[in-house]
């Protein structure tokens, strides 16, 4: 059954209210199929009313909610339709002709030259055509969605075929963009030129971004894309940037480090999770993180130790709940500039016994060590003349029973940086006191203080090369 035949059956219902309800259901379902999932469709109880729309499309963020009225008409080809355009055209609605089958090249109302403004005038058979295109290629849905939300002008079946055909051709050409760049360029230019007649600027940019994402996903360089403006990722809004970065992450072709640098090198680690807007982990995100790691700094670190080390050694960058993190064996570490990400993090992590803290406390740069025993807490602060901290503390606490003291905090100089890290082992948080510190350095510090199972050399290898160490790789 096609939309056209379903619609005809619904219109033949003998009772007007039944017919109206059935038609509204059918049209709402069709629009749902052709629009993106974020669009909302509301129905009114008015059917083909001359003033009240049959349906209303809503989309966009809550602060900038947009809407478009959908007016159903039996014919959008008649003389009387000019009155609809005159009365309703200023609100740029979508008019859908339900039963007229003739194309609209020479619509009868056209002779009176009514202003269509931003109205989109189309017919039920166009819905079938767009549906067919979207079922042949689901990626076409993004263009049909834009067309229905903000499209304008007259689109009958032949025009829908032309628009859809060119768009599908561009999508196909872009699968070979890395090897057939010129062909892909021409196909994209042709599709954009055809769509241009039916879209206002915002719609053109929207479709351009979608095609650009496909271009990138197909392995094309964003700088080669035939866009209306020169490519500059820094000028994109978050939604567009997300589209580009997710396309790169989903690319079938390997993405070069310089491509990541050009398209995401300016994004702070604090913002990256929010821009991507979804949880990601390992694989292509490892490559992205490795390419961007030299740019990344953070002011806070949060460690989350797994109950037990994984059987297989793990080395993966990840985004969880909009925060960038790194999972290395038993420790998941998150990095941020804003400590409020971690404000609800609870204390109560098992503290290492002093006897277990040799590696942690044997490195240079310790400024303060907080210990907690059964009866009291001790804050040890080495002076410059003091020797190696771990040995020194052991000597001080050589009394019987001193082995039960646990390390609960450390203040340490950050290696190779003019910053001090306050390490809270109870909450597994490192506060850099406002100093932007390289994430690679922080990853090493977190491992040193919070992990019980990581090999520092394995982490060093992963941070340096972006690949797990050979032993870990071979274990996989």
Compare residues 15 and 252 and give the one whose CB is closer to other proteins: 15
Compare residues 32 and 274 and give the one whose CB is closer to other proteins: 32
Q: How many residues bind other proteins (CB under 8 A)?
A: 35
Member of 16, 250, 310, 350 binding other proteins (CB under 8 A): 16
Member of 21, 44, 194, 382 binding other proteins (CB under 8 A): 44
Member of 11, 28, 253, 397 binding other proteins (CB under 8 A): 11
62-101 residues near other proteins, rule: CB under 8 A = 69, 74-75, 78-80, 83, 87, 90-91, 99, 101
Minimum CB separation from other proteins for residue 95, in Å? Answer: 14
Compare residues 90 and 256 and give the one whose CB is closer to other proteins: 90
Compare residues 9 and 194 and give the one whose CB is closer to other proteins: 9
Say how far apart CA 450 and CA 437 lie, in whole Å. 18
- Interface region with other proteins, contact rule CB under 8 A, candidates 39-47, 185-193, 399-407, 421-429: 39-47
8-14: list long-range contacts, CB under 8 Å, 24+ apart: 8/99, 11/98, 11/99
Minimum CB separation from other proteins for residue 332, in Å? Answer: 45
Member of 22, 47, 242, 268 binding other proteins (CB under 8 A): 47
463-469: list long-range contacts, CB under 8 Å, 24+ apart: 463/293, 465/290, 466/286, 466/287, 466/289, 466/290, 466/291, 467/315, 468/313, 468/315, 469/313, 469/315
363, 444 in Cβ contact below 8 A? no
Contact status: 15 vs other proteins (CB under 8 A): yes
Q: Measured in whole angstroms, how far is the alpha carbon of residue 111 from the centre of its chain?
A: 48
Contact status: 418 vs other proteins (CB under 8 A): no
> Which stretches of 280-408 are DSSP H helices?
284-292, 358-361, 389-396
Among 20, 44, 141, 131, smallest CA distance to 93 is for 44
Contact status: 52 vs other proteins (CB under 8 A): yes
By rule CB under 8 A, what string of x and - marks binding of each residue 17-36 to other proteins?
x-xx----------------
172, 214 in Cβ contact below 8 A? no
Contact status: 46 vs other proteins (CB under 8 A): yes
- Interface region with other proteins, contact rule CB under 8 A, candidates 10-18, 134-142, 276-284, 345-353: 10-18
Member of 1, 37, 51, 115 binding other proteins (CB under 8 A): 51
Compare residues 43 and 408 and give the one whose CB is closer to other proteins: 43
Compare residues 46 and 231 and give the one whose CB is closer to other proteins: 46
101-120 residues near other proteins, rule: CB under 8 A = 101
Compare residues 44 and 175 and give the one whose CB is closer to other proteins: 44
Q: What are the E-state strand segments in 32-147?
A: 40-43, 55-59, 66-73, 94-97, 120-123
- Residue showing tokens 């059964």: 374
- Interface region with other proteins, contact rule CB under 8 A, candidates 16-24, 126-134, 243-251, 455-463: 16-24
Compare residues 25 and 79 and give the one whose CB is closer to other proteins: 79
Give the H/E segment covering residue 25. Answer: helix 16-34
Compare residues 90 and 386 and give the one whose CB is closer to other proteins: 90
* Beta carbons within 8 Å of 375's beta carbon, 6+ residues apart: none
Say how far apart CA 317 and CA 284 lie, in whole Å. 10
Structure tokens of 118? 């931003």
* Paired sense of beta strands 331-336 and 55-59, if any: unpaired
For 123, phi then psi, to 5°, come to -135, 165
Say how far apart CA 410 and CA 413 lie, in whole Å. 10
* Paired sense of beta strands 300-305 and 377-380, if any: unpaired
Compare residues 19 and 183 and give the one whose CB is closer to other proteins: 19
Task: Enumerate binding residues for other proteins (CB under 8 A).
Answer: 4, 8, 11-12, 14-17, 19-20, 42-53, 56, 69, 74-75, 78-80, 83, 87, 90-91, 99, 101
């Amino acid at each position: 059954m096609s939309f056209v035949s379903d619609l005809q059956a619904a219109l033949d219902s003998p009772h007007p209210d039944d017919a109206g309800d059935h038609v509204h259901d059918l049209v709402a379902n069709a629009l749902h199929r052709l629009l993106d999932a974020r669009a909302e469709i509301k129905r009114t109880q008015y059917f083909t009313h001359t003033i009240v729309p049959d349906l209303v499309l809503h989309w966009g963020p809550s602060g900038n909610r947009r809407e478009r009225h959908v007016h159903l008409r039996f014919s959008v080809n008649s003389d009387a339709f000019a009155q609809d355009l005159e009365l309703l055209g200023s609100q740029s609605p979508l008019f859908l002709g339900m039963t007229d089958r003739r194309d609209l090249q020479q619509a009868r109302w056209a002779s009176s030259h009514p202003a269509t403004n931003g109205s989109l005038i189309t017919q039920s058979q166009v819905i079938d055509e767009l549906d067919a295109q979207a079922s042949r290629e689901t990626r076409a849905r993004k263009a049909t969605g834009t067309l229905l939300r903000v499209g304008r002008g007259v689109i009958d079946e032949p025009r829908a075929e032309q628009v859809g055909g060119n768009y599908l051709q561009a999508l196909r050409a872009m699968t070979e963009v890395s090897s057939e760049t010129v062909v892909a360029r021409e196909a994209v230019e042709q599709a954009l030129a055809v769509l241009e007649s039916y879209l206002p600027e915002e719609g053109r940019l929207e479709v351009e971004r979608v095609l650009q994402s496909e271009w990138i996903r197909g392995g094309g360089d964003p700088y080669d894309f035939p866009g209306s403006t020169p490519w500059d990722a820094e000028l994109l809004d978050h939604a567009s940037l997300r589209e580009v970065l997710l396309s790169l992450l989903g690319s079938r072709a390997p993405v070069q480090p310089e491509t990541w640098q050009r398209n995401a090198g300016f994004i702070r680690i604090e913002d990256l999770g929010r821009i991507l807007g979804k949880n990601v982990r390992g694989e292509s995100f490892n490559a992205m993180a490795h390419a961007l790691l030299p740019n990344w700094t953070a002011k806070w670190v949060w460690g989350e130790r797994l109950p037990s080390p994984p059987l297989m050694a793990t080395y993966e960058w990840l985004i969880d709940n909009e925060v960038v993190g790194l999972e290395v064996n038993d420790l998941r570490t998150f990095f941020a500039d804003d400590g409020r990400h971690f404000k609800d993090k609870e204390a109560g992590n098992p503290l290492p016994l002093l006897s277990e803290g040799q590696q942690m406390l044997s490195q240079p740069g310790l400024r303060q060590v907080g210990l907690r025993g059964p009866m009291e807490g001790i804050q040890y602060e080495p002076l410059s003349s003091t020797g190696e901290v771990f040995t020194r503390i052991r000597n001080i606490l050589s009394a019987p029973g001193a082995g039960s003291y646990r390390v609960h905090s450390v203040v340490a100089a950050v290696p190779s940086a003019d910053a001090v890290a306050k390490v809270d082992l109870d909450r597994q948080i490192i506060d850099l006191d406002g100093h932007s510190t390289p994430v690679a350095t922080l990853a090493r510090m977190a491992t040193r203080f919070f992990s019980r199972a990581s090999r520092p050399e394995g982490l060093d290898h992963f941070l340096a090369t972006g690949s797990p160490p050979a032993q870990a790789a071979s274990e996989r």
